[in-house]
Chain A
Amino acid sequence: MRTDAPSTIIDRVDERLSELESHLAQIEMLQQLMLRLLSIMHPLSNVLSQYGANSTQEQELLQYLDQLAARVHSLERTRQPTVEEFQDRIGEILPALRQDIEFMRLVIDTLRVERVAYRELHDYMHAQGWPARIAPRS
């Protein structure tokens, strides 16, 4: 009886882990669906609108992000986007949010769930550690 007990416990743990694995896979699938649905609801526009940006500022920012997305692939190191430049440009477009670090981080996070064209830019920003490197600028 005593020798059987450990294997029974291990069996139960394995069984429970398998159940959890299956639940997790289901939640991941649902979250993927939510992300796909969210990406077609213009999340970046919602964020900008919530933070008081007008249509001109929104268009200017989107244009700048398009440029950044293209420059990510540049072979010239000096043409690749930097976090300092990003902060300065966002501050120029949205002066009221120049010092709002949370806003800048949220813009970066939102790119992750935006249209596919911006996701690569988001990956680049993360790989370069931008969210942690954003700091108040003078």
Chain B
Amino acid sequence: MSQTDRPDLEARVAHLEMMQDLLFRLMSMTRPLSNVLEQFGATRTQEQELLKFLDELVERSRGPERGRPSRAHFEMHVGEILPSLRGNREFLQLLMDTLKVERPAYRELHEYMTAQGWTAAKV
């Protein structure tokens, strides 16, 4: 591969990034989190409860450091809301991953989780 191929690679990556942004925006409008929860057997009440909990997490992640949520707190509350999925690592990982393609507030929460190492670490 020669040096002249580099601009081509850069253009292709830029195009991929642009299309990915669009895909994320469009996907966020299909309520992916609700679909995931439905797929894992959550009821509407559980879904509402979980969304309320996530909203609280968004607020707390924006607040003072001492009040910011921890991974253990997240895992414990998700387990309380969805007892049948307690300790289900695949579900917890998917839940966190899905926040990345959800509405902007949840994307921000996903960034917080990633920065804290929640998504990379074993939950």
Q: Tell me the A residues contacting B by CB distance below 8 Å.
A: 14, 17-18, 20-21, 24, 27-28, 31, 34-35, 38, 41, 43, 46-47, 49-50, 106, 109-110, 112-113
Contacts and interface: CB of A to CB of B under 8 A. Distances in A.
B41 to A, nearest CB: 23
A17 B22 contact: no
Contact of B1 (A21, A43, A46): A21
A21 B9 contact: yes
Given A46-B26, A47-B26, 10 more contacts: A14-B1, A17-B5, A24-B13, A24-B16, A35-B19, A35-B23, A38-B27, A43-B26, A50-B29, A106-B25
Interface of B: 1, 5-6, 9, 12-13, 16, 19-20, 22-23, 25-27, 29-30
Nearest to A27: B16
30 contacts: A17-B1, A17-B5, A17-B9, A20-B9, A21-B5, A21-B9, A24-B9, A24-B12, A31-B19, A31-B20, A34-B23, A35-B19, A35-B23, A38-B23, A38-B26, A41-B30, A43-B26, A43-B29, A46-B26, A46-B30, A47-B26, A47-B29, A49-B29, A106-B25, A109-B22, A109-B25, A110-B22, A112-B22, A113-B22, A113-B26
Contacts of B13: 24
B28 to A, nearest CB: 9
Contacts of A20: 9
Nearest to B22: A109
A18 B6 CA distance: 11
Contacts of A110: 22, 26
Q: List 7 A-B pairs, minimum CB-CB distance, nearest first.
A: A17-B1, A50-B29, A46-B29, A43-B26, A14-B1, A109-B22, A46-B30
Contacts of A46: 26, 29-30
A28 B26 contact: no
Q: Main SS of the interface on chain B?
A: helix
Nearest to B6: A17
Counting chain A CB atoms within 10 Å of each CB, the highest count among B13, B22, B27 belongs to B22
A46 B22 CA distance: 13
A24 B17 CA distance: 11
Contacts of B23: 31, 34-35, 38, 113
A20 B27 CA distance: 27
Nearest to B30: A46
Contacts of A43: 26, 29
